[in-house]
Amino acid sequence: MKNSAIIITGANGNVGSYFAKKYCDLGENLILIIHTSDHRIKKFVKDNSDRIKVVQVDLSDYLNLKTKLAKVITETGWKPDRLIHTATARSHAIKLLADSDPELWKNIINANLIGTFNILKTTLKYFKENKNGKIVLFGSNVSRIGLPKDTAYAASKAGIANIGRTLAAEEAVNNIIVNTVSPGPIKIDDGQFTESYRKFREEYYKEKVRDIPLKRCASFQDIFGLCEFLLSKDNSYITGEEFFITGGKI
């Protein structure tokens, strides 16, 4: 469908920007949702402004999200039929639950779970109207193994996976397919993180990679291949699943 479109949240993030570029190269219409910065997507958005629209919004602000998304869809005449939800907030405090700040903990939960609720509620309207839609949510392997010193992130990712399972059951009648992709460690650009958080990630990844049979982190392409299939016409039956991309690590 020439007027179909893919919505990608967290589109300036490591994973989101990679997916946006790949789908741009495939000729898709894209609605890219960013929070503040656009440095990773700025060039190819400018070069493809007829096929790419950027929405800058805080996903926790439901009314603003709903209004801005509706404006883009009305102006373009596009019919969104796929959603890739990569947006996520991480706690950089690196503290045990017993030492965690209650407000910071709540903020991570709100950003990840309320943000997920808001983008789903907003996009489902369009999918239900067309009786067609495919959704990939991004979880994490920490939903099954935990993440010491970042309980809020681990809890929110487990919550996202269960939102996906539940939504798949609720919306099957509307031909809406929902799956969650939960990677293990991914090699990313961590330059935007604080020095202490980068050190935490370095130590965490060093330990985890030793336990991965393939002895490496996942690449963006490893993840894209699975998501591309889940969102494609070839997938008409796989829904409500959580896929762990961990290089053989159980």
Note the pTM of the prediction, 2 decimals.
0.91
The 3-class SS string of the chain reads CCCEEEEEECCCCHHHHHHHHHHHHCCCCEEEEECCCCCCCHHHHHHCCCCEEEEECCCCCHHHHHHHHHHHHHHHCCEEEEEEECCCCCCCCCCCHHHCCHHHHHHHHHHHHHHHHHHHHHHHHHHHHHCCEEEEEECCCHHHHCCCCCHHHHHHHHHHHHHHHHHHHHHHHHCEEEEEEEECCECCCCCCCCHHHHHHHHHHHHHHHHCCCCCCCECHHHHHHHHHHHCCCCCCCCCCCEEEECCCCC
pLDDT at 1: 54
Say which residue the tokens 């950027």 belong to: 54
Provide the domain limits for residue 30.
4-191+219-244
In a domain? residue 204 = no
Tell me whether residue 58 is in a domain.
Answer: yes
Residue 205, in any domain of the structure: no
Q: What CA–CA distance (Å, rounded) separates 207 from 164?
A: 30
The per-residue pLDDT for 174 is: 97
Q: What is the pLDDT along the chain (250 residues), one digit of tens a residue?
A: 579 999 999 999 999 999 999 999 999 999 999 999 999 999 999 999 999 999 999 999 999 999 999 999 999 999 999 999 999 998 777 899 999 999 999 999 999 999 999 999 999 999 999 999 999 999 999 999 998 889 999 999 999 999 999 999 999 999 999 999 999 888 776 666 667 666 766 777 777 788 889 888 889 999 999 999 999 999 999 999 999 999 988 7
Asked if residue 137 is part of any domain, the answer here is: yes
Is residue 141, in this structure, part of any structural domain at all? yes
Separation CA 161–CA 138 (nearest Å): 8
Nearest-angstrom CA–CA distance, 93 and 223: 28
CATH at residue 240: 3.40.50.720
| Confidence at residue 62, expressed as pLDDT on a 0 to 100 scale | 98
Structural domain contains residue 213: no
Distance CA 238, CA 161 (A): 15
In a domain, 249, yes or no: no
The count of domains in the chain is 1
Is residue 31 one of the residues assigned to a domain? yes
Place of tokens 């503290």: 95
Nearest CA to 155 out of 169, 143, 168 is that of 143
What's the pLDDT at 195?
75
